[in-house]
Chain A
Amino acid sequence: MRKPLFKTSFTLTSTLILALSISACGSQNSSGNSGAAATAAPTASGQASDAPAAKAPVKISYLTFRVGTHASAKLEEEQIKQFNAKYGKEVEVVVEEIPSDSAYEDKLKILAVSGDVPDVVMGKNGINDILIKGNLVTPFNDYLDKDPEWKAAVGEAAIAANTRDGKVWSISDQKQNIGYFYNKEMFEQAGIKPAQTWDEFMSNNEKLKAAGFVPLALMTGENAWTTNLILAALVGTNGDAGNKFMNTLHPTDFNTPEMIQALNMMKTMLEKYTTKDALGAGYANAANAFSQNKAAMIANGPWMIGDFSDPTKSSAGFDKKVGVAAYPNNSLISTYEVGYMIGAKTPETRDAAEKFIRFKTGIEGQTIALEYGNVMPVSDKIQPSDVLKQKYPLFVESIKLAQQTQVHYQSFDSIVYPNITDAWKSLYPKLVFGQSTAEEIAKELTKIAAKHK
């Protein structure tokens, strides 16, 4: 009789312990989560004890990929910290960190299917379209009208870039002026200067190669970023038609003479003037090739400038060797980021989300982004501090360059559908290994664009 009783007691006790452990885990998790929230809103708990009658802060959810080793992680951390110091008693930002741009995009697309988007959304790489089509976001028109100061800080051009049918769907937080960086020592040894025409650019490549250098740090993996910046410049500077193409949102016909010509030139560059691992390589490979003196040029934006003096990424004194140049035909890639959107559903959370976005994209937020992330502000009123100018003189050069250039166009990532962005990595090898001609690749791009829903 004792044995079954023991068994039953043992089973019950074990079940109880298991249940308690699970609930303990649960409470640990939730405290972990609230820990994250507490990081985002340190004043929330204090407020509760000091003023019990005061209204609790409105909680808003925010997903970010700017974490860990991301180039913009520092600026994100600082913006949230300063927002909390100023508005923590009113708004509690519950931050969810997603350590990868593509994982962030995938998660947002899946959340959009269920209509359960976060209160504040970064609408990059096609996410904005999905949210607008699904009626999942709130336009900013009323908010901007109520706050002319904020409207001025964002600027008309940035607002226009994110306006469709009169509705401002997102607020841009940065301007992207992208040229290319070059190794001054290698250029000197090859006896060349930054090219003014594409013929000169190709001739520079040949001279660098003859001098024993790899001319270009290219990569075709991920979104083929550094390769596509040059491709965009090739198309964007090829007459009015090419420039119009590179300033068109969601082009559907890639079968144009400008695109075919550009693809043929890119084929030559990938075949003759880049590192052996460029086909299939990721951004880190290309960045490393340039920063480690293995390649003479890399197309990229000012956010990379910090890396040149970072001893974990570049050799000592490398920042002194780097120059910045515009693309041939006095041109530059110039775009406004899609920026932030309001995904909140209730009036209360919408207002709180708007407050957070207003801070991030206003004068304060832009200043933080500039100082902590070398991000080009959208407002002309913001100038780099003397400390920043001294630390990163190349950044000042980049600003000058942006002011001097006359021809502007956007990057492929900011105009094409996401499935095109994803297709480059499989199309470039086809082009280089002769499986498809430039004409066939252009047709394939057109076919892929048509598949986007």
Chain B
Amino acid sequence: MVRKNKGYITLFLLPTVVLFIVVYAVSIVILFGTSFTEWSSGRKPIFIGLANYIQLFTDDSDFRQSFLNTGVWVLLQSTIHVAIGTVFAIILNMKEFYWKFARTVYMFPNIISGAAVGMLFLCMLNPDFGAVNSIVRLFGNADYAQNWFMDYTTAFFSVTMTWLPYAAVVTILILAEIAAIPESLFESARIDGASELKINFYIILPMLRNIIGTCVILAGTSMLQKMDIIMMTTGGGPGNETMNLPIYIYKTALMENNFGYSNSVGVFLIGFGLAFVLLCRNLFRIGSSQN
């Protein structure tokens, strides 16, 4: 029986393994290999050793700014974003008000494409006809009406606000986990006289450690790929104020025609992502038992 199962397991895993090797593993090997070369479109790669990495860490202020922005966004997304999603899940779980309606409305921003969300915010924050500035002017504070995406003082905040509060995926994952907690636990707690607040804090939250850890990884790593909304709203500007690593990779490869250097940033991004995932796994002890 075991042999038979092994056969099935191999058979069903094979397509995934082959796809992974062809699509990801080979690409990563090529990415890593060409990161040690000077390679531009239309020319053959020339091996230059560690030169790209040396330049990256010693003489590239654009890279430093992109890395800093990416780091801050990963931090905000894995803390504030997950916290919003978790709190919302716990509130929705109480089922006391129009929770089905709230859940559906809350999901909306997550089902719209990033580019469309970008366009939406671009219109909403337009300094000329945007809804936000119109409201600001309506209340008589015309001085506060401004070019939100292009002003140095507001650009980073404005871009961050286009995704930070919309945590429906986190909420749904956590709601599913809460639903899996045996009802008997809550009943026992209630019989022992625990309030709903105490049940949330001392029973539900500790039991959500694994899934919250997973959400932190998902939310944080999503920031390592974030590109669409930034491209639509600020394109990384003003200056490098909202530039992140994916946009920097795009610019070095396709605008500067410097694929070798761009790939070295890509390798760094993969390393950064791996380090983040490992950190979260250890921090939340993902996979270990709840007790």
A residues bordering B, Cβ < 8 Å? 105-106, 109-110, 112-113, 126, 130-131, 133-136, 220-221, 275-277, 279-280, 418-419, 421-422, 425-427, 429-430, 433, 435-436, 451-453
Contact = CB atoms under 8 A, between A and B. Distances in A.
Contacts of B256: 419, 451-453
A84 B42 CA distance: 32
B255 interface: yes
Interface stretch (B21-29, B148-156, B184-192): B148-156
Contact of B128 (A109, A126, A277, A418): A277
Contact of B126 (A126, A277, A419, A426): A277
B237 A134 contact: no
A453 B237 CA distance: 23
A101 B240 CA distance: 24
Given A130-B257, A419-B251, A429 B152 contact: yes
A443 to B, nearest CB: 13
Given A130-B41, A418-B255, A419-B255, A276 B147 contact: yes
Interface string B256-271: 1111000000000000
B69 interface: no
Interface string B210-236: 000000000000000000000000111
B238 interface: yes
Given A110-B41, A426-B235, 14 more contacts: A113-B42, A131-B42, A134-B41, A134-B42, A277-B129, A279-B238, A419-B255, A425-B235, A425-B237, A426-B243, A429-B152, A433-B238, A452-B258, A453-B256
Contacts of A221: 235
A65 to B, nearest CB: 15
Nearest to A117: B42
Contacts of A126: 257
Contacts of B255: 418-419, 421-422
Interface string B28-52: 0000000000101111000000000
Given A275-B128, A419-B251, A435 B257 contact: no
B238 to A, nearest CB: 3
Contacts of A280: 147, 149-150, 234, 237-238
**Among all A-B residue pairs, the 5 with the closest Cβ atoms:** A134-B42, A429-B238, A426-B237, A453-B40, A280-B150
A430 B42 contact: no
B43 A134 contact: yes
Nearest to A434: B152
A141 to B, nearest CB: 21
Interface of B: 38, 40-43, 126-129, 147, 149-152, 234-240, 243, 251, 254-259
Given A276-B147, A277-B147, A452-B256, A426 B128 contact: no
Contacts of B152: 429, 433, 435
B277 to A, nearest CB: 28
A2 to B, nearest CB: 20
Contact of A113 (B41, B234, B240, B243): B41
B194 to A, nearest CB: 48
A429 B150 contact: yes
A112 B44 CA distance: 11
Given A112-B41, A280-B150, A453-B40, A426 B239 contact: yes
Contact of B257 (A136, A426, A436, A452): A452
Contacts of B239: 426-427, 429-430, 435-436
B130 to A, nearest CB: 8
B41 to A, nearest CB: 5
A254 to B, nearest CB: 16
29 contacts: A106-B254, A109-B257, A110-B254, A112-B41, A113-B42, A126-B257, A130-B40, A130-B41, A134-B41, A136-B42, A220-B150, A276-B127, A276-B147, A277-B128, A277-B147, A280-B149, A418-B257, A419-B256, A421-B255, A425-B237, A429-B151, A429-B237, A429-B238, A430-B238, A435-B152, A435-B238, A436-B239, A451-B256, A451-B258
Interface centre among B41, B239, B240, B255 (most CB of A within 10 A): B41
A220 B42 CA distance: 30
Given A280-B149, A422-B255, A130 B42 contact: yes
Contacts of B150: 220, 279-280, 429, 433
A60 B226 CA distance: 37
A102 to B, nearest CB: 9
A263 to B, nearest CB: 15
B251 A422 contact: yes
Nearest to A137: B42
A135 B43 CA distance: 9
A280 B238 CA distance: 8
Contacts of B127: 276-277
B258 A453 contact: yes
B12 to A, nearest CB: 12
A167 to B, nearest CB: 16
Contacts of B234: 280
